[in-house]
Amino acid sequence: MFPGARMAFTRKGLQESIRLLACRKNRNMSTAGKVIKCKAAVLWEIKKPFSIEEVEVAPPKAHEVRIKVAATGICRSDDYVVSGNFVIPLPVIIGHEAAGIVESIGEGVTTVKPGDKVIPLFLPQCGKCNVCKHPEGNLCAKNDLSIPRGTMQDGTTRFTCKGKPINHFLSTSTFTQYTVLDEISVAKIDPASPLEKICLIGYAFSTGYGSAVQVAKVTPGSTCAVFGLGGVGLAVVMGCKAAGAARIIGVDINKDKYAKAKQVGATECISPQDFKKPIHEVLKEMSGGGVDFSFEVIGRLDTMVAALASCQEAYGISVIVGVPPDSQNLSVNPMLLLTGRTWKGAIFGGFKSKDSVPRLVSEFMAKKFSLDPLITHVLPFEKINEAFDLLRTGKSIRTVLTF
C-alpha cells in the first residue's frame, strides 16, 4: 500500500470513529430526560415465577442516576423474597448484585457521569449519618434493608408496568435492562473491569471476603473454621487465605462442595454427619483447644452456636454471616462469652460500600483474587426462572445473567 492510500484509509477510519461517537452521544441525548421502555423481570406475587414485562423507567430526578444493567448475579436473598421469607412491598423488581453503565444523571450528581462503569450498592453510604461517620459501621441509616420501603430515597418509584407503579428492592432493582439509583447507592469503578464478573463484588464476594478480612480481621498463621461452603462461604475461605491463615477448615454436610473449597484455599473439609461427637468438640480437638476464627455462613441457629463454641474460649472470634430464619431466637450459655470469646455479625462484610467497592474492583483487576470459582453459570436475562431453579436445586454457586 502506498503512503497516500494509508492516509486516506486512516482519515476515513477517523471520520467513521467521529460519526460513531456522535451517534453514541445522540443516543444518550435521545434517552436522557425521557422515559425508557425496556424489559424487566417483575415479581407480581410471592411463590410465582418472574414474568418478563415491558416496563417504563422514568428519568432520574435530582441526585439520582439511571443505569443500563450489563450483568446481574442471582442470590439466595432474592429467593428469600420469592419464597415469602423476606417480606417487601409487591409488585417489585428485585435483584441487587449487578454492574452496569450510567445512561444519564439527575441534577446535582457529581460522583458519576454518563458512560461510567458502576456497581449498584444495596447498602448505601450517605456519608452524613452517625453510622457513615463512625469508623467501623457500614449499615447507613438510609438503607432499605432494616425496614424495606421499596422506593427511592424520596419515597416514590421510577418503574411503571401496565399503568401500575412497581416497587424497588434494596435501593438497587437489577433484574431489568435499566434501573434508577440514588447517588448514594452507586459506585464508579475501573472502566476496564469485566462487568459480567465484577458484578459479584456488589454482594456475595464482598460479604464473604469482608467477613474474614474486615470483620474478623483474620491474622497470619491462624486457624479458621468456615461453616457452610456455598458462594458466600467460599468467599470467606478466600478472605481467610488472603489474610494469611495457615489452616482453613471447611464444614459442610454436602461433600460435593469440598473440591471447590479446597481450590479456593480450604486446607481440609469435614462433615458433622461423619462424627458421633458434636462438631465443636471435633474442631477443638483438631485445633488443639479451639480455632482462632469461626464463621457461620449457613443461616441456622444450631450452627451459629456450634461455630461460637468451636472457637478458642479465651480469644476466639466468631462471625455470623448467614441470615437467620425470620423471628427466631437463640438460647446460649453466657459462659461461652464470659471466658473471652467475641461474637460478631455484619452485613456486606463490614465494608463501607461506596468507599470499598471501587477498591475491591481495583484489587480484582490487580489479580489479588479471582471470581471465576464462584461463577458456575452464565445465562441470558430471559432465562431468569431457569437460573432460580439452578439455585434452588443446589446446582449453581452463582449464576450471572447477562443482558
Residues making contact with ligand CND (CB under 6 A): 76-77, 207, 227-233, 251-254, 257, 272, 297-300, 303, 321-323, 347-348
Question: Alpha helix (H) ranges present in 42-137?
Answer: 76-83, 130-133
59 contact, one of Zn ion, ligand CND, none, CB 5-8 Å limit per kind? none
Which one, 55 or 140, has the nearer CB to Zn ion? Answer: 140
Name the residue with the smallest CB distance to ligand CND. 230
Q: How far is the CB of 292 from ligand CND (least distance, A)?
A: 20
CA 66 – CA 60 distance, rounded (Å): 6
CA 189 – CA 224 distance, rounded (Å): 32
Q: Give 256-264 contacts, CB < 8 A, sequence gap 24+.
A: 257/229, 257/230, 258/229, 260/229, 260/234, 260/373, 260/397, 261/226, 261/229, 261/233, 261/234, 261/237, 263/373, 264/234, 264/237, 264/238, 264/373
- List 160's β-bridge partners, or say none: 56, 165
Q: How far is the CB of 209 from ligand CND (least distance, A)?
A: 11
CB 176 within 8 A of CB 93: yes
Which one, 112 or 282, has the nearer CB to Zn ion? Answer: 112
Instruction: Figure out which of the listed residues 36, 67, 126, 347 binds Zn ion, where binding follows CB under 5 A.
Output: 126
Count CA within 13 A, CB hemisphere, residue 226: 35
232 contact, one of Zn ion, ligand CND, none, CB 5-8 Å limit per kind? ligand CND
Q: How far is the CB of 168 from Zn ion (least distance, A)?
A: 18
76 contact, one of Zn ion, ligand CND, none, CB 5-8 Å limit per kind? ligand CND
132 contact, one of Zn ion, ligand CND, none, CB 5-8 Å limit per kind? Zn ion
Which one, 114 or 349, has the nearer CB to ligand CND? Answer: 349
Q: How far is the CB of 349 from Zn ion (least distance, A)?
A: 17
Instruction: Figure out which of the listed residues 129, 242, 301, 365 binds Zn ion, where binding follows CB under 5 A.
Output: 129
CB 122 within 8 A of CB 139: no
Instruction: Figure out which of the listed residues 102, 105, 132, 216 binds Zn ion, where binding follows CB under 5 A.
Output: 132
Which one, 55 or 170, has the nearer CB to ligand CND? Answer: 170
Torsion sign across C-alpha atoms 76, 98, 259, 379: positive
Residues 6+ apart with CB under 8 A from 146: 139
Q: How far is the CB of 322 from ligand CND (least distance, A)?
A: 4
Q: Going by DSSP bridges, is the β-strand pair 268-270/247-251 parallel, antiparallel, or unpaired?
A: parallel
Quote the cell numbers at residue 180. 434508577
272 contact, one of ligand CND, Zn ion, none, CB 5-8 Å limit per kind? ligand CND
- Residue 140 binds Zn ion (CB under 5 A): yes
State the Cα angle at 120 between 395 and 65, rounded to 5°: 145
Residues that bind Zn ion in the complex, under the rule CB under 5 A: 126, 129, 132, 140
